[in-house]
A and B are shown apart, each in its own frame.
Chain A
Amino acid sequence: MSVDLSQFIPSFLEESFEGLELMESSLLNLEQGDDETINSIFRAAHSIKGGAGTFGFEHVTEFTHLVETLLDEMRDGRREITQNDVELLLKSVDCMRLLIEAIRDEQECDRTEIDETAKLLTIALNQTASVDVDNNETGSGTTNQQVTQNTLWDITFIPEHHLVQTGNDPLLLFNALADLGPITVEANCKDLPPITDIDPTELYISWHLTLDSAASEEDIREVFEWVEDECQLIISQPVKDQQDSQQPEEIVIDKQGGDFTSVSSASDSSEQVLASAVADNASSTLESTTTTKSQKQPSKTKADVGSIRVGVDKVDSLINLVGELVITQSMLSELGNDFDLSKIERLTSGLEQLLQNTKELQESVMRIRMLPISFAFNRFPRLVHDLSNKMNKEIELVLKGEQTELDKTVMEQIGDPLTHLVRNAVDHGIETAEQRLASGKPAKGVITLDAYHQGGSIVIEISDDGSGINRQAVFDKAVEKGVVDKNTVLNDNQVFDLIFEPGFSTAKEISDISGRGVGMDVVKKNIQSLGGRIQVESEPGKGSTFKVNLPLTLAILDGQLVRVGSETYIIPLITIVESLQAKPEHINRVSGDMLLYRLREDNVPIIPVCKLFNIDAEHQRVEDALLVVVESDGQKVGLMVDDLLAQQQVVIKSLQDNYQQVEGISGATILGDGSVAMILDIPGMITMAMNNASQSQQKYGDIAKNLEGVMS
């Protein structure tokens, strides 16, 4: 009858992480007397504690209990909400996250930070008690509960052997005690008979507990009320010196059902360990061992299930659409039963309806993968809060367009680059309060994160009202690094693009936040690998804006079908600037076999797709072929193709599943007729063409040298 709890662990983890996020964001918005916020934080902590308790994740339960106690005091107004407390709680949230992540990864986590935070929490809790006393003495306190100092109770609990047969469970009692305050539990197994004589329905263990609580003896006795007649209960007077020098002793009780519990006691009084013991009357074998292993996870399930929460409205619309599709299908099949030419009109309209349905269905299915960008934005208030504290800057973070929806995969991968950009804005962008005041700006800097749709893509803007990018410093640095020549004339955009070069940083001092020059190039690479691009705008003294352009989804792409020879290729529509018939007078031949096309004021290199890919093409000469001007990375090139075909949405299929990466190709897709078409990788093709050009130039050089050698 035992239920396999492990199947619920993934949802527990998911809920816990959500809870932690909620706690974090609420903590940052926490203000004095804001009951609703405190309540919601408390509720989140409480459900994490409850869940962890159910699954036996004791580390989490213990720790969360401390957090909860602190929150409870705040909720009841027994405790002023100070900045310190909020910091402590934020730290605790981090620790809880560490603990829960450890469960997810089935690993032991580093306890030092957690223990430290637990210690701080305990200290903070002890302080409250005295604060309470003060409050009451001055008459300013609103409550008069728990005026007494916490005392350490010594409880000896020796149950009679038949205790569990009456339906009592010592674990429940201890949990109830734990609600009064932190307790340590120590099991005494000396009465255990040899294993052959054990009656599984009897309880042979007795316990010795210490409870650190403000509760009175009556409160404790109340807990044991139901078992009072069936046990020996000694509650001793509060002891002052609680330095308990006993060695930790742990017992793992295994029974065949697979259930287990560990009983532990800690000698360190500051580390309150709540441990519990179950002696289930259903146990058939009882085995006691003294072991140092303190925890054993009952589950082997990996939590990385990658589920998404979908709004009911989205599911409803899907169901509606499927319903319509079924109707259309039955209409069409009825039409097909006895078809004659007179019904052709109905057939066309039916097919049109089918097309409409499919399209809507596709959109709805894609929408399921879409999440509001607030998922990615949520981490930033905390980040900015921490960073600005660390750097002594006053910064306000403004989030806009949080409801803008973005594909889940894109969302997961955009987090890190965005974090980097925000860090940069805090570190480099916003000046210190003194500098700001000196330049006539308010002391508080503002960083704005904005997300909105633009055409088929989504734009995320990270802007600050700081000092802006020092154009000259960037240029000088680039010259110093040898990226550009001293005499090159660059416009603002080109200069700002230099900051994306590897190893580039103009920060005079390297901080642990940023300035090592590792990063902006990675940011750019990450964004490009998502099919997006990044732009910088900056005005000295006014601030800078980073604009990240991302495709809405990675699975579907708007493409322009082109023909080269007998093959069909797809050019991502987003990269296309324009398509044109080349005019002979605008074609310039430069050294080697490089061709340039004069497009208004730009000179655009021409890449003959057929030569690059070594395939046959109908038109070998540029004059006859069509040019598709594409842009990637600010670099425009003209692709020479034979024909422009339709524009359509294509579903991206990976080539790597069964084959390897092909240079110049980003993926493949299946066209309406079932054939495979390649999707062109524009940045890749440009690099390819550049490499080829430089290689052939080298060859030319070699040949020229050889010729010279022959001549002389």
Chain B
Amino acid sequence: MEQEQEYLTFLIGGEEFGVDILCVQEIRVWSSVTELPNKPDYLKGVINLRGVIIPIIDLRQRFGKEPLEYDHQTVTIILSDHNETRPMVVGIVVDAVSEVYKFSQSSISNPPEFGSQIDRCFLKGLASIDDKLIILLDTQTLLDQDELYSVNDHVKAKDNSLTENVETTI
């Protein structure tokens, strides 16, 4: 029998995304965060999760979409890599959680080569269920610090703030 994997799906801007459910540690409602200084917009800040400090990423903004006002549906999915001995834990903010689906490896097709706002490295594949198309995300890269906080953004954020500063002072 072909091995099936379960995926937790969630909504961002009407699109449905899925992550490997084994990487989902828990789902929390949105709670206020402590901001980190001089960080890109998508990094909302850090929270205290039972004594561990974890960063919170707004996936919407990370994927280059317009930010959305947080409401009672907004949830934080805490991801952690279950394979590692000292897993990295990160929280992602999504519009809402949706369902849990089972997909077999063969029903997942490769992502299209272009035409996506999302960094290709995060995409694992596409799966369709009942006319819906679900974008599966690669948790490995999502949990990879270098990929998640790619250097380009830092430089951009810094440059912006710097020019702004100069402009305002002028």
A residues bordering B, Cβ < 8 Å?
Answer: 567, 593, 611-615, 653-655, 657-660, 662-665, 668, 670, 674-678, 692, 695-696, 699-700, 703
The reply to whether B166 and A703 contact each other, CB–CB distance below 8 Å, is: yes
CA distance A684 to B34 in the complex (A): 20
The reply to whether B48 and A615 contact each other, CB–CB distance below 8 Å, is: no
B26 at the interface (CB under 8 A from A): no
Q: Could you say which residues of chain B place their CB within 8 Å of the CB of A593?
A: 169
Q: Could you say which residues of chain B place their CB within 8 Å of the CB of A670?
A: 48, 51, 53
B52 at the interface (CB under 8 A from A): yes
B38 at the interface (CB under 8 A from A): yes
B18 at the interface (CB under 8 A from A): no
The reply to whether B169 and A663 contact each other, CB–CB distance below 8 Å, is: no
Q: Could you say which residues of chain B place their CB within 8 Å of the CB of A678?
A: 34, 36-37
CB distance from A326 to the nearest CB of B (A): 23
The reply to whether B149 and A653 contact each other, CB–CB distance below 8 Å, is: no
The reply to whether A657 and B34 contact each other, CB–CB distance below 8 Å, is: no
> Closest 3 CB pairs between A and B?
A613-B37, A676-B34, A659-B55
> When the two chains form the complex, which single residue of A567, A615, A676, A696 contacts B169, counting CB atoms closer than 8 Å?
A696
For chain B residues 4-43, which have a beta carbon within 8 Å of chain A?
Answer: 32-39
> When the two chains form the complex, which single residue of A567, A611, A676, A695 contacts B47, counting CB atoms closer than 8 Å?
A676
The reply to whether B35 and A658 contact each other, CB–CB distance below 8 Å, is: no
CA distance A654 to B38 in the complex (A): 18
What are 17 A-B pairs with beta-carbon distances under 8 A? Answer: A567-B34, A593-B169, A612-B37, A658-B53, A658-B54, A658-B55, A659-B36, A659-B46, A663-B37, A663-B38, A670-B53, A676-B45, A678-B34, A678-B36, A692-B162, A696-B162, A696-B165
CA distance A692 to B32 in the complex (A): 30
Known: A615-B37, A658-B55, A658-B90. 15 other contacts (CB 8 A): A567-B35, A613-B38, A653-B52, A653-B53, A658-B53, A659-B53, A662-B38, A663-B37, A663-B38, A664-B37, A664-B38, A670-B48, A676-B47, A678-B36, A703-B170
The reply to whether B46 and A676 contact each other, CB–CB distance below 8 Å, is: yes
Q: Identify whether the interface residues of A are mostly helix, strand, loop, or mixed.
A: mixed
CA distance A292 to B86 in the complex (A): 41
CA distance A335 to B161 in the complex (A): 57
Which residue of chain A has its CB nearest to the CB of B165?
Answer: A696
CA distance A419 to B161 in the complex (A): 45
The reply to whether A668 and B166 contact each other, CB–CB distance below 8 Å, is: no
B88 at the interface (CB under 8 A from A): yes
Which residue of chain A has its CB nearest to the CB of B35?
Answer: A567
Of B32, B35, B52, chain A has the most CB atoms within 10 Å of the CB of: B35
CA distance A654 to B55 in the complex (A): 12
CA distance A307 to B60 in the complex (A): 46
Interface size class of B (residues with CB under 8 A): 20 to 34
The reply to whether B90 and A614 contact each other, CB–CB distance below 8 Å, is: no
CA distance A507 to B89 in the complex (A): 51
B98 at the interface (CB under 8 A from A): no
B145 at the interface (CB under 8 A from A): yes
Q: Identify whether the interface residues of B are mostly helix, strand, loop, or mixed.
A: mixed
Q: Could you say which residues of chain A place their CB within 8 Å of the CB of B52?
A: 653, 657-658
The reply to whether B53 and A677 contact each other, CB–CB distance below 8 Å, is: no
Which residue of chain B has its CB nearest to the CB of A609?
Answer: B37
CA distance A674 to B90 in the complex (A): 18
B residues bordering A, Cβ < 8 Å?
Answer: 32-39, 45-48, 51-55, 86, 88-90, 145, 149, 161-162, 165-166, 169-170
> When the two chains form the complex, which single residue of A567, A660, A663, A674 contacts B145, counting CB atoms closer than 8 Å?
A660
CB distance from A473 to the nearest CB of B (A): 42
The reply to whether B170 and A668 contact each other, CB–CB distance below 8 Å, is: no
CB distance from B16 to the nearest CB of A (A): 27
CB distance from B74 to the nearest CB of A (A): 19
CA distance A567 to B36 in the complex (A): 10
> When the two chains form the complex, which single residue of B37, B45, B53, B169 contacts A614, counting CB atoms closer than 8 Å?
B37
CA distance A615 to B35 in the complex (A): 9
Q: Could you say which residues of chain B place their CB within 8 Å of the CB of A660?
A: 145, 149
Q: Could you say which residues of chain B place their CB within 8 Å of the CB of A677?
A: 34
Contact A668-B46, Cβ < 8 Å, known A567-B34, A675-B34: yes
Q: Could you say which residues of chain A place their CB within 8 Å of the CB of B53?
A: 653-655, 657-659, 668, 670, 676
CA distance A593 to B34 in the complex (A): 28
Which residue of chain A has its CB nearest to the CB of B164?
Answer: A614
The reply to whether B166 and A699 contact each other, CB–CB distance below 8 Å, is: yes
Q: Could you say which residues of chain B place their CB within 8 Å of the CB of A654?
A: 53
> When the two chains form the complex, which single residue of A662, A695, A703 contacts B39, counting CB atoms closer than 8 Å?
A662
CA distance A607 to B85 in the complex (A): 41
CA distance A114 to B149 in the complex (A): 51
Q: Could you say which residues of chain B place their CB within 8 Å of the CB of A692?
A: 162, 165
Q: Could you say which residues of chain B place their CB within 8 Å of the CB of A567?
A: 34-35
CB distance from A587 to the nearest CB of B (A): 17
The reply to whether B37 and A665 contact each other, CB–CB distance below 8 Å, is: yes
CA distance A700 to B51 in the complex (A): 45
CA distance A665 to B54 in the complex (A): 15
Of A662, A664, A676, A703, chain B has the most CB atoms within 10 Å of the CB of: A676
Q: Could you say which residues of chain B place their CB within 8 Å of the CB of A668?
A: 34, 46, 53
CA distance A699 to B164 in the complex (A): 12
Q: Could you say which residues of chain B place their CB within 8 Å of the CB of A658?
A: 52-55, 88-90
Q: Could you say which residues of chain A place their CB within 8 Å of the CB of B32?
A: 675
CB distance from B38 to the nearest CB of A (A): 6
CA distance A613 to B36 in the complex (A): 8
The reply to whether A674 and B161 contact each other, CB–CB distance below 8 Å, is: no
CB distance from B36 to the nearest CB of A (A): 5
Q: Could you say which residues of chain B place their CB within 8 Å of the CB of A700?
A: 166
Q: Could you say which residues of chain B place their CB within 8 Å of the CB of A614?
A: 37-38, 161
CB distance from B3 to the nearest CB of A (A): 30
